[in-house]
Structure 1
Amino acid sequence: MKKTLFITYGLLIVLTASTALISNTMSVSRLAIILIMGLSVLKFLLVSFEFMELKKANAFWKVSLISVLGLIVLGLVL
């Protein structure tokens, strides 16, 4: 249990550092926005499923969260 929490926390740190690196090195472009939004979605899902115990929730909540998140991100990117 604690091992997965530490792995998730480490992955969140790596994803956050990657987001900062992308935002500082790339000019504002469609690719940079898509990369940053994609990393943000990954971080959101990691926090939701690992720290908010969504992995133990009903399948309806999992599917609805992922589908709404996908629609929002697609709407923002497009």
Structure 2
Amino acid sequence: MNKTATITWIILIVLTITSALVSKLESKYVVLIILILSTLKFFGIAFQFMEIKKAHLFWKIIIVGFILFFGIGLLVFI
């Protein structure tokens, strides 16, 4: 793996561990924090490992739009 992929992988591991630790907290914002961390992980995977950063602008807009609509939809039901 190249250096950027390794750094992204380490960040993904840290975000995953952080999500696990946050899930043990008793706060009304736990779900929101986990959703934000999951969004960051999704962007890391999509843009680094699925190579969306090299894709056409259309696909970048689709990925960001999906996260926006999915996130807004989840927050409406929380």
2:69 is paired with a residue of what secondary structure?
helix
TM-score (norm 2): 0.91
Amino acid at match of 1:8: T
Within the candidate set 19, 36, 45, 2:43 is matched to 45
Tell whether the 8 Å contact from 1:54 to 1:62 is kept in structure 2 after alignment: yes
Amino acid at match of 1:27: E
How high is the sequence identity, in percent, across the aligned residues?
A: 41
For the pair 1:10 / 2:15, whether they are aligned, the reply is no
2:36 is paired with a residue of what secondary structure?
helix
Within the candidate set 34, 56, 70, 2:32 is matched to 34
How many pairs were matched up? Answer: 76
1:61 matched residue in structure 2: 59
- Which consecutive residues of structure 1, in runs of 5 or more, have no partner in the other structure? none
Misfit runs of 4+, over 4 Å: none
